[in-house]
């Protein structure tokens, strides 16, 4: 797994982040109803939801035209030969370093090899809990990109590689987990077309040959605003393109050598996008992405959501897919309808843009345990639960 933040879970800002969640955001302490008015069950039944506006903005997982793996199956009539003499444990330890494509090929060698592949514990867990990624990797032509041990490592984590908060998505090129907000505001997680990457980072055709490439999957994309993308094109990761361009140089030195030629860039939007790519951070955001003010990149050349897919977590034997808070949505709606300055001053961390902060909180996902904690300090949680209870009662 590529980590944008090596050692993230031990860093002081990571700890700070979770202190923010529980104490430093004064805002959220506005929950005026007694936190004991609702139970954990109420939180899961009435407060949590999985908004389609977010889940349908990334790579779709409910494609009815799932391809079979026939395209990559091989007709073999050989046996495993000497491999079959190895103890099963040793075979398992070795085979987890293979990618999905190699394992699927191996499983088609003979009945014995199929039984061995099927018996690899982490392969079986991936197939049980996250089989959709096999289909998606097949469509994106990246079945040979990651080992199953790397993918299993991502399955066992629930943290965003960029901010350390809950991450409900898998970045398919990086095999790292990310959250909905970082997938939008951290351009290091974005994917982009090969021509744009070449233009932004002055890369040659020879250079881009070493970049990991995925084929986009036709569909509609966009967590905020949907765009139809029916043509399959090659996509690369923005951060990987930047790292390749820089080599050993600092960004400042490299930028002086490769200034953007504005005469060859037709629109201000495109210029802004290329500059945005160039500004991609090489490490994580190091802060709660809800509190970032200076991100406002739009336009039709956004490909960012085309590289991420909903991905469950398997932590301590429990499978979760991430939950969102209806209370935060209600708070945002109240803000749009009009909110007094005193309430706002309690809700918004110092220095943050009101609308952006509250809007992004509606995109924030939580594990079940985190949502229970959050519900106790979310200012609209009790109101939502009360409303939902009365509507079903």
Nearest to 311 by CA among 161, 131, 130, 148: 130
Considering only residues 331 through 390, tell me which ones interact with Zn ion, judged by CB under 5 A.
378
Q: Nearer Cβ to Zn ion, position 163 or 197?
A: 163
Q: Nearer Cβ to Zn ion, position 58 or 182?
A: 182
Distance of CA 296 to the CA centre of its chain: 19
CB of 167 to Zn ion, least distance (A): 6
Q: Nearer Cβ to Zn ion, position 96 or 330?
A: 330
Nearest to 240 by CA among 206, 306, 189, 204: 189
CB of 159 to Zn ion, least distance (A): 8
CB of 95 to Zn ion, least distance (A): 32
DSSP 360-388: HHTT-EE-HHHHHHHHTT-TTHHHHHHHH
CB of 270 to Zn ion, least distance (A): 27
Residue matched to tokens 């985190």? 370
Segment near Zn ion (CB under 5 A); pick from 60-68, 112-120, 328-336, 346-354: 328-336
Segment near Zn ion (CB under 5 A); pick from 122-130, 152-160, 207-215, 238-246: 152-160
Give first-to-last CA distance, the chain, whole Å: 47
In the list 170, 240, 325, 383, the residue contacting Zn ion (rule: CB under 5 A) is 325
Residue 45 tokens read as 């039944």
Q: Does 163 help bind Zn ion (rule: CB under 5 A)?
A: yes
Q: How many whole angstroms separate alpha carbon 94 and alpha carbon 96?
A: 6
In the list 5, 133, 160, 372, the residue contacting Zn ion (rule: CB under 5 A) is 160
Residues in binding contact with Zn ion, number by CB under 5 A: 9
DSSP 254-306: HHHHS---GGG---HHHHHHHHHHHT--SS---S-GGG-------STT--GGG
Which residues, 6+ apart, have CB-to-CB distance to 192 below 8 Å?
A: 200, 235, 236, 238, 241, 277, 301, 303
- Residue 365's DSSP bridge partners are 324
Q: Does 328 help bind Zn ion (rule: CB under 5 A)?
A: yes
Q: Does 327 help bind Zn ion (rule: CB under 5 A)?
A: yes
Q: Does 162 help bind Zn ion (rule: CB under 5 A)?
A: yes
Q: Does 182 help bind Zn ion (rule: CB under 5 A)?
A: yes
Q: Nearer Cβ to Zn ion, position 109 or 182?
A: 182
Q: Does 179 help bind Zn ion (rule: CB under 5 A)?
A: yes
CB atoms within 10 A of CB 6: 10
CB of 177 to Zn ion, least distance (A): 9
Which residues contact Zn ion by CB under 5 A?
Answer: 160, 162-163, 179, 182, 325, 327-328, 378
């Amino acid at each position: 797994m590529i980590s944008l933040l090596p050692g993230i879970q031990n860093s002081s800002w990571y700890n700070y982040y979770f202190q923010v969640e529980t104490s430093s955001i004064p805002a959220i302490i506005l929950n005026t109803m007694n936190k004991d008015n609702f139970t954990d069950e109420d939180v899961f039944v009435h407060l949590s939801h999985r908004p389609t506006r977010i889940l349908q903005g990334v790579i779709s997982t409910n494609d009815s035209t799932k391809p079979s793996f026939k395209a990559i199956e091989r007709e073999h009539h050989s046996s495993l030969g000497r491999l079959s003499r190895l103890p099963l444990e040793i075979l398992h330890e070795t085979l987890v370093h293979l990618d999905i494509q190699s394992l699927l090929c191996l499983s088609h060698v003979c009945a014995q090899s199929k039984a061995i592949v099927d018996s690899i514990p982490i392969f079986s867990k991936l197939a049980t809990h996250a089989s959709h990624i096999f289909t998606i990797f097949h469509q994106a032509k990246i079945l040979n990109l990651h080992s199953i041990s790397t993918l299993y490592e991502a399955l066992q984590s629930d943290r965003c590689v960029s901010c350390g908060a809950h991450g409900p998505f898998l970045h398919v090129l990086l095999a790292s987990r990310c959250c909905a907000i970082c997938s939008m505001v951290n351009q290091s997680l974005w994917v982009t077309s090969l021509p744009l990457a070449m233009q932004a980072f002055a890369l040659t055709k020879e250079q881009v040959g070493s970049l990991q490439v995925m084929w986009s999957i036709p569909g509609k994309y966009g967590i905020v605003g949907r765009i139809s993308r029916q043509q399959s094109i090659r996509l690369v990761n923005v951060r990987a393109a930047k790292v390749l361009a820089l080599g050993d140089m600092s960004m400042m030195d490299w930028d002086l050598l490769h200034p953007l030629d504005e005469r060859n860039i037709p629109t201000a939007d495109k210029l802004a996008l290329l500059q945005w790519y160039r500004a991609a951070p090489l490490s994580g955001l190091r802060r709660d992405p809800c509190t970032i003010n200076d991100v406002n990149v739009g336009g039709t050349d956004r490909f960012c959501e085309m590289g991420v897919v909903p991905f469950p977590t398997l932590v301590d034997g429990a499978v979760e897919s991430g939950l969102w808070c209806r209370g935060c949505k209600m708070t945002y709606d109240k803000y749009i309808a009009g909110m007094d300055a005193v309430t706002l001053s309690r809700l918004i961390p110092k220095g943050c843009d009101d609308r952006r902060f509250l809007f992004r909180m509606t995109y924030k996902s939580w594990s079940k345990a985190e949502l229970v904690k959050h519900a106790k300090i979310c200012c609209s949680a009790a109101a939502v639960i009360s409303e939902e209870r009365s509507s079903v009662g």
